Structure 1
Amino acid sequence: MTRYVFDNADTRNRTRFDVLGAALDPTTHGELTAAGVGPGLRCWEVGGGDGGIGHWLAGQVGPTGSVVITDIDPRWIPAHDGTTVLRHDVTRDDPPGHDFDLIHARLVLLHLPQRATVLDRLVSSLKPGGRLVLEEYDLEQPLLPRTTTPHHRAVFDAVHEAFLRVLMARDVDLGWARATPEEFITRGLRDVRTRTHTPLWHGGPGQVQLYRVNVAQLTAPLLTDGVTEADLAAFMALLDNPAFAVWSHPLVSTTGTR
């Protein structure tokens, strides 16, 4: 079974899903709307997380459409009218159907060493004219604005640079987001369109706390990498400091038509 960096069995995932939803759902809704989601469509939500996007899709396609939500560990996805939830490993299992009108995945393929094969599988599961929407973080882009103080920069980088090393050690492709449009074109998808969303987050209780949840879930490998407990404490305090600001990693949304 494929293992993701962020273990779904971790109870902190509830907070992670909540922060991800607040930070990214409006952008995702806009991309799916632009891709033509509407009544009667057959949709596949890959790596459904807590089911939020899949449930939203069900509301868009209505009773004449259908939504399949798959995840390697679907424990966080509640039952919802208009959706079918399946335990599914997209790297190994057969697709849950064919001739989908719309397939969407957010922050999934960058985690998968088999991402090229998975992309082939997704494209082949679309019907002619079907749309594929992939959203991935570009993890190679710098995050700190020029106004960040040297002290804040040092505190943030001490943990975040180690965090990226941990991701790379687990086969996360930090630059996959920027490669996705070319990968679409190579596979014959047409009307390929890419948009990037990069908000500035300020210290406090909002979306910047995604960094807190991610780092907390990877504390053990970070300590092994050389991050100290003091580094972690200073990093967490920085995220609560309203004087601190950090860019979100760019969310690159790519859409193509089979």
Structure 2
Amino acid sequence: MNDYLLDNQQAEAGERFGSLAELFDPGTFRHFETIGVTSGWRCWEVGAGGLSVPRWLAARTSHVLATDIDVSWLRAEAPIEVREHDVARDEPPPGGFDLVHARLVLVHVAERERALRSMVAALRPGGWLVIEDADTALQPLACPEETGPAERLANKIRRSFRQLLAERGADLSFGRTLPRLLRSAGLTGVCADAYFPIASPACRALEAATIRQVRGGLVAAGLATEEEIETHLAALAGGALDLATAPMISAWGRRPVA
């Protein structure tokens, strides 16, 4: 995770967390409701980033542990406990959890299998694991309808961003593997779905914050020029681009009771 392209130290991280919450929190919370999150549960939010998911869980359960390798954007709010933790390298927190959730975490972690084992090991018998990760290779375009130069530039920059991610160890086809991985980990009742928004203002806000955050890397690698980035950011600000995100694959399964 030392090579993580979208680290929490930059100001754009907060903007990205807000956009991601707007786009994907409703689906995440729907999955939580499906599995029956309720009072008395102990929950572990892995790679929390911001507080939107921990706060939703805290309003409905008895204890929420929010962890990340960088807790800059987190703060403790009873019953939320905040802890610095690397899911791929550190031992899982003790005590057992009724729910373990990670969104957009494993896709960026080199030691994905170890991290997944750690999360499964943290489940109580009957506990649920919910993993949500992007699959950029399933839908790689920023603008699925490429109608003009602004859309072509957006797609070029998205391809360049994907290249940077891959060079940093991200698995751009990881999301589709989640159902199989959860079954292989011994979980039962495994289900999955996928969602990606198009033409939402939050898509444009997420893209703008992301490109500002990685522009130095894009330029240094010769993948985009400063002029191209400024042109793309201006198009985003103009609001005319029908932008899309990569599909978010959500998979959930339960640790057997016996």
TM-score class normalised by the smaller sequence: over 0.9
The partner residue of 2:242 within 237, 240, 245 is 245
Partners of 1:158 and 1:231 within 8 A in 2: no
The residue that corresponds to 2:203 in the other structure is 207
Q: Identity of counterpart residues, as a percentage?
A: 35
Query: TM-score by structure 2 length?
Result: 0.93
Where 2:182 maps in the other structure, the secondary structure is: helix
Q: Does 1:190 align with 2:188?
A: yes
Equivalences, count: 253
RMSD: 1.6
* Structure 2 counterpart of 1:117, from 73, 98, 114: 114
Q: Deviations over 1:96-147 (max 9, x none)?
A: 1242110000100100000111101111111111100011111112335654
Which digits, 9 at most, give the CA deviation of each residue in 1:59-80, with x for residues without a partner? 111xxx2111111111211221
8 A Cα contact 2:108 2:169, kept in partner: yes
Q: 1:5 aligns to what?
A: 5
TM norm structure 1: 0.93
Change in Cα spacing, 1:142 to 1:6, as seen in structure 2 (3 Å) is: closer
**How far apart in 1 are the matches of 2:57 and 2:3?**
26
Q: Partners of 2:211 and 2:233 in 1: how far apart?
A: 9
Deviation at 1:189, TM superposition (A): 1.0
CA distance in 2, matches of 1:36, 1:126: 15
Corresponding position of 2:16: 16
Q: Structure 1: how far apart are the matches of 2:154 and 2:253?
A: 36
Extract unaligned runs of 5+ from structure 2.
none
| 1:22–1:207 Cα contact (<8 Å) kept | no
The offset of 1:5, in angstroms, is 1.8
* Matching residue of 2:169: 171
After TM superposition, give the deviation of residue 2 of structure 1 in Å: 4.1
Q: Deviations over 1:191-230 (max 9, x none)?
A: 111011111125xx53321011111111111012221011
Alpha-carbon contact 2:143-2:241 (below 8 Å) kept: no
Give me the whole-angstrom Cα distance separating, in 1, the residues matched to 2:87 and 2:219: 31
Q: Against the structure 1 CA distance between its residues 147 and 175, is the aligned structure 2 distance closer, same or farther, given a 3 Å change threshold?
A: closer
**In the alignment, what sits opposite 1:154?**
152
Query: 2: distance between equivalents of 1:147 and 1:210?
Result: 19
Q: 1:186 offset after TM fit, Å?
A: 1.1
Tell me how far apart the structure 1 counterparts of residues 144 and 11 of structure 2 sit (CA, whole Å): 36
Gaps of 5+ in 1: none
